[in-house]
Amino acid sequence: MSPAVGWSLELYYIDGRPDGMVTAELFNWTGHVLMFPRTQLSAALARGEASYAGVYLLLGDQNGEPFAYIGEGEDIGARIRQHDVRKEWWTNAVLVTASANKLNKAHVRYLEARMIALAKGIGHTPLDNLTAPVLPTLSEADISKMEAFLENLLIVLPAVRVDMFIQRARSSRPSAPAASIPSLAQPQQTDEGGTRFVMESRKHGLRASAVLTDGEFVVGAGSTAKCEWTGLDHHTYASLYAELRRSGVLAEQGTHCVFTQDYAFRSPSAAAAVVNGRASNGQIDWRTADSGLTYKDWEARQVEAPEGASA
């Protein structure tokens, strides 16, 4: 495996406030990202880059769920003024342009179509876009340039708190039937190269398997979970559970839900909460498949182990 490649990212808080207007740029990238709250709409649209060709995101929520719109224009500020300022639900916007206004109409239409397709495929945030635009015809060289531009953009957006394009579903291996998920008594090896953990609730008939690899806690396809969230509605992971149901990562199968794909969680507790349908302590609920250690005890051993030694 080749070593990870680092990136140099510059964030500039224009008015000195972390919740105000912010620009983001990558070293050696021609793209430019401006994020601003709707309360600063006039100031944002008065900036020079707001009159450039580009794509833009409108972000907010509707009916208690995240909601977004992806658009494009040869003058994105004018586009927002003429049309999308009438949309009442959005609270933040992101303008994506290039230095010296180097993007043309075909470029931004291509980026818009690709971003809409990506967002719908990931399913993290429902879109206000009613149709999926067709990719415009570009030369082979322009397609390559726009794909590179998009790759860099997807690195920058999470830095300005836009996570709708983060793909946490993993489809590198086929979905496994629920019966094949290892129980605590019958651990199985994994080919992902990480440490395997399992969780089982005999009371609710749930069995799940996960692997910690490359800093991700990935619950395996075929793992079972509850078919409804029974915890507090306002809990942090209630919205995550709803998102996975909505996107099809969790699909109803009989009395349970099944993970249709491997899915990377940010923490063992997030994974445990989704499996159990309520707030759960993943540090205790998950156990190593080979020795039955809780995640908490296993982690403590990793920290205590001398550098370069295996626990």
pLDDT of residue 193 exceeding 70: no
pLDDT at position 183 is 37
pLDDT for 247 equals: 84
pLDDT at 23: 96
- Of the two residues 170 and 30, the one the predictor is more confident about is 30
Question: What confidence score (pLDDT) does residue 9 get?
Answer: 93
Among the listed ranges 50-54, 287-291, 307-311, which one has the minimum average pLDDT value?
307-311
Residue 258 pLDDT > 50, yes or no? yes
Q: What is the pTM of this model?
A: 0.71
Closest Cα to residue 21, out of 52, 42, 44?
44
Percentage of the chain modeled with pLDDT above 90: 65
Q: Of 136 and 3, which is predicted with more confidence? A: 136
Greater confidence, 99 or 123?
Answer: 99
What's the alpha-carbon Rg for the chain, to the nearest Å?
22
pLDDT at 177 over 90: no
pLDDT at 191 exceeding the cut of 50: no
Which token pair is 39? 């309360």
Checking if the pLDDT of 182 tops 80, the result is no
Q: Which residue has the tokens 């009916």?
A: 63
* Per-residue pLDDT at 185: 31
Residue 4's pLDDT is 61
Sheet holding 256-259, edge to edge: 224-225, 256-259, 250-253
Output the six-digit token pair for 213: 């690899």
Question: What is the structure's pLDDT at 174?
Answer: 40
pLDDT value, residue 117: 94
Share of the chain above pLDDT 70, in %: 89
Question: What is the structure's pLDDT at 171?
Answer: 58
